[in-house]
Copies of this chain bind each other. A is one copy, B any other.
Amino acid sequence: MRLLIALGGNAIKQAHEEGNTAEQFTNCRVTTRLIAEIVKKMGPDDRLAITHGNGPQAGNLLVQQEMGKEKIPAQTMDVVGAMTQGQIGYMLQQTLMNYLVDMGTTVPVCAVVNQVLVNKDDPEFFGDMASKPVGNFFTEEEAKQLKRDHPEYIVKKVKPNGEKTWRRTVPSPDPISNVEAEAIKRMVDAGIIVIASGGGGIPVMCDARGRYAGVEAVIDKDLAGERFAEVINADEFLVLTDVEVVKLDYGKPEEKPIFKMTLAEAKKYSDQGHFLAGSMGPKVRACIRFLEWGGKRAVITSLDKAVAALAGETGTHIVRNEVE
């Protein structure tokens, strides 16, 4: 059995926290203790790989870069992505390794720097189609100044009311493939628990000669995680977020939890608009892709229910056919 776990933002930083090192390590410990429980149940031929978001960490780094810009040049978004892969990869790797040591397990854990290919013709790159807000909130006046300082930035009003309602917005293109696929595949085959595709991967484009270059974008981490799941030939794809089960008619009086859906049902509900864009939408889409590619089961649940959900006790399970 090969399993890919996609960790949500709350696995590393809680929304109410400022994001200091101690807080983040505490959250990572909660997360990796649960992952260690999963490793404990693995046989010698089973494989596990992990991916994670980076929203709060990239956001904090962008603010630091902005505040330090008089002295130090800000790095581009692809480099910011790479830096957060190092940061979060380190915290997950160290804390998971410590739990494995406690358990007497010697499975190696290793986080890698990982690029993900996007298409230069992706609609997100055109006009002001970019959809992913990043970094600081600004007043209208500050937003205008930001645009004067960086004419290439797309700055959008992202909240209807309030003092600071504007934010820099970057493209969120669809991930095409995992650039380090061959290295990752060999690592997983060699028995290493690989942490990769962090923050949706470092977004890169490819020219006609096959050479990669970074782009100013942010890739959805669940959609990129699905590409990672393909690379390691995963049977199961576990998407961890802040709700135990997916809801139909979310936020409406008739809202109802869904514990199991077939691929066909998931596509139907998705087409009917049951899942919010930028929230449950891309998670369900990633699961649909995973099953269409050939995966056996996709599960969406909350971090604390991960072990129970894998055992079939809770969570939203998506399978190819009813009989499975």
Residues of A within 8 A of B (CB): 18-21, 60-61, 63-68, 70-73, 75-76, 78-79, 82-87, 89-91, 93-94, 97-98, 101-102, 106, 108-113, 115, 179-180, 182-184, 186-187, 189-192, 195, 202, 204, 209-214
Contact = CB atoms under 8 A, between A and B. Distances in A.
Contacts of A78: 90
A70 B70 CA distance: 16
Copies in the complex: 2
A212 B94 contact: yes
> Residue among A65, A109, A182 with the most chain B CB within 10 A?
A182
A90 B67 contact: no
A115 B90 CA distance: 8
A180 B63 contact: no
A111 B113 contact: yes
Given A68-B68, A182-B108, A21 B79 contact: yes
Contact of A64 (B65, B102, B183): B65
> Residue among A89, A94, A202, A204 with the most chain B CB within 10 A?
A94
A152 to B, nearest CB: 13
